[in-house]
């Protein structure tokens, strides 16, 4: 086990688990089909490079997905800086509208990257989940560091970023 492995993911991440997992962006990708209009969806916002639409199996009503329209990448690890910037700008615009439209009390912005992080569709996508006071949704359980462990973890990340 990786010594930096965190606590087990909570019920929200578990709800994304399915047996059918493809590790790479596939030709028959469901999100590409949505972009091409081959599968219907409830689109709420679109730019030249991005699309926002309802997740049809919502964690909460109004749960949206924001995706790049391009189909060259699979997740955060191979998306281009340009495409990612476009996705994040759409996330910003749509989050604001989502909270206002639903009278929500906040919005969670989440992204699952790779199978063991709960990624099911290997087309990059960011989840926007409206939150309401007292909605009972639980995200990750919080852990803690042992003596000296936080410094060790930070150092490992810092050194990797220098390379
Ligand atoms: Zn796709």
Q: Where in the chain are the domains?
A: 11-162
- pLDDT value of residue 94: 98
Q: Would residue 125 show up in a list of annotated catalytic residues for this protein?
A: yes
Calpha distance 127→130 (Å, rounded): 10
Q: How far is the CA of 21 from the centre of ligand 1 (A)?
A: 14
Q: What pTM did the predictor assign?
A: 0.84
- pLDDT value of residue 141: 85
Contact present, 126 and 110 (Cβ < 8 Å): yes
The top-level CATH class assigned to 11-162 is: alpha beta
Residue 19 has pLDDT above 70, yes or no: no
Residue 1 has pLDDT above 80, yes or no: no
Rg (CA), the chain: 17
Q: How far is the CA of 25 from the centre of ligand 1 (A)?
A: 6
Q: How far is the CA of 55 from the centre of ligand 1 (A)?
A: 15
Q: How far is the CA of 105 from the centre of ligand 1 (A)?
A: 31
Q: Would the CA dihedral through 59, 64, 69, 75 be positive or negative?
A: negative
Residue 156 has pLDDT above 90, yes or no: yes
Q: What is the mean pLDDT of residues 50-67?
A: 96
With a pLDDT cut of 90, the percent of the chain lying above it is: 78
Q: How remote is the C-alpha of 1 from its chain's centroid?
A: 25
User: Quick one: 137 exposed, middle or buried, by C-beta within 10 A (0-12, 13-18, 19+)?
Assistant: middle
Residue 103 has pLDDT above 60, yes or no: yes
pLDDT band at 25 (very low <50, low <70, confident <90, very high): confident
- pLDDT value of residue 4: 55
Task: Name the one residue in this structure whose structure tokens are 């699309």.
Answer: 51
Q: How far is the CA of 39 from the centre of ligand 1 (A)?
A: 12
Q: How far is the CA of 96 from the centre of ligand 1 (A)?
A: 26
Residue of 25, 63, 125, 127 with catalytic role = 125
């Amino acid at each position: 086990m990786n010594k930096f492995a965190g606590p087990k993911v909570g019920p929200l991440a578990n709800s994304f688990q399915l047996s059918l997992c493809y590790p790479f962006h596939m030709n028959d990708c469901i999100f590409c089909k949505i972009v091409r209009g081959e599968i219907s969806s409830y689109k709420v916002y679109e730019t030249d490079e991005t699309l926002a639409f309802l997740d049809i199996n919502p964690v909460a009503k109004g749960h949206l997905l924001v995706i790049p329209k391009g189909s060259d990448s699979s997740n955060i690890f191979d998306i281009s800086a340009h495409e990612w910037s476009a996705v994040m700008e759409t996330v910003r615009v749509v989050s604001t509208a989502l909270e206002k439209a639903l009278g929500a009390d906040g919005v969670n912005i989440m992204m699952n990257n790779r199978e063991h992080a709960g990624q099911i569709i290997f087309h990059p996508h960011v989840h926007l989940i409206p939150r309401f006071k007292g909605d009972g949704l639980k995200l990750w359980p919080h852990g803690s560091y042992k003596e000296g462990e936080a410094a060790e973890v930070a150092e490992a990340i810092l050194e990797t970023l220098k390379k």
